[in-house]
Amino acid sequence: MNWEYRKEHCIEKLENMELYKKCYTGKNLSSIFLKIGLLINLILITSCGMKLNVSMTGGNVDPRAKTVHVATFSNNATLVNPSLSQNFTNALKDRVQSQTPLSIVDSKNADYILEGEIVTYSITPVAIQGNDVAAMNRLTIAVRVRFKNKFDENQNFEEVISRYSDYLSTLNFTSIESGLVSSINDAIAEEVFKKAFVNW
């Protein structure tokens, strides 16, 4: 009787040990898989964040580049808007600062140089009606831009970039001029930025 009891007791103990081993091993494997899954998710989230950061800071900025010089664009247009020179220069500086990690410096020894002049500021009639009266007028601004890349001369360019905005001829131009100019300045600054740093 004692032998049978001991035999059954040993068998039961062995079965319990096997069950414990399976459960313990299963828990370990689950824990390992969980940690691996969390690690993969963390890597994916981090890499996505890095890609987003790169895309938001603009285009082809040479990793060696640290500085950019944005010169004041002089106003050489026949029709002069007194604040246009400073307003356009500021619009271009704002674009570069917000879209690149570059520091703007007052030195022509900078890694990148943007300079030029405003060559056109004109108001012309458009949408002429049957009685030879224009229903719309067009404000046009054109800027000659020179870009120099210290690290790659093939990226250098000189180009005239022009944008315009139409408005009803019945409106008082003086009351809407500031808004029109701001919109056109932003459009030209964006185009300059794309050509200089995104190579569009």
- Map the chain to HEC letters: CHHHHHHHHHHHHHHHHHHHHHHHHHHHHHHHHHHHHHHHHHHHHHHHHHHHHHHHCCCCCCCCCCEEEECCCEECCCCCCCCHHHHHHHHHHHHHHHHCCCEECCCCCCCEEEEEEEEEEEEEEEEECCCCCEEEEEEEEEEEEEEEECCCHHHCEEEEEEEEEEEECCCCHHHHHHHHHHHHHHHHHHHHHHHHHHCC
156 pLDDT more than 80: yes
> What pLDDT, on the 0 to 100 scale, is given for residue 16?
52
CA angle 162, 168, 135 (to 5 degrees): 100
> What pLDDT, on the 0 to 100 scale, is given for residue 120?
98
pTM attached to this predicted model = 0.69
Rounded Cα distance between 44 and 51, Å, is: 11
Given the DSSP bridges, would you call strands 112-128 and 134-149 parallel, antiparallel or unpaired?
antiparallel
Mean pLDDT for the stretch of residues 40-50: 44
> What pLDDT, on the 0 to 100 scale, is given for residue 133?
73
> pLDDT exceeding 70 applies to what percent of the chain?
69
Residue 194: left (phi > 0), alpha (psi -120 to 50), or beta? alpha
Q: Which CATH class is domain 67-198?
A: alpha beta
* Domain positions in the chain: 1-56, 67-198
73 pLDDT more than 80: yes
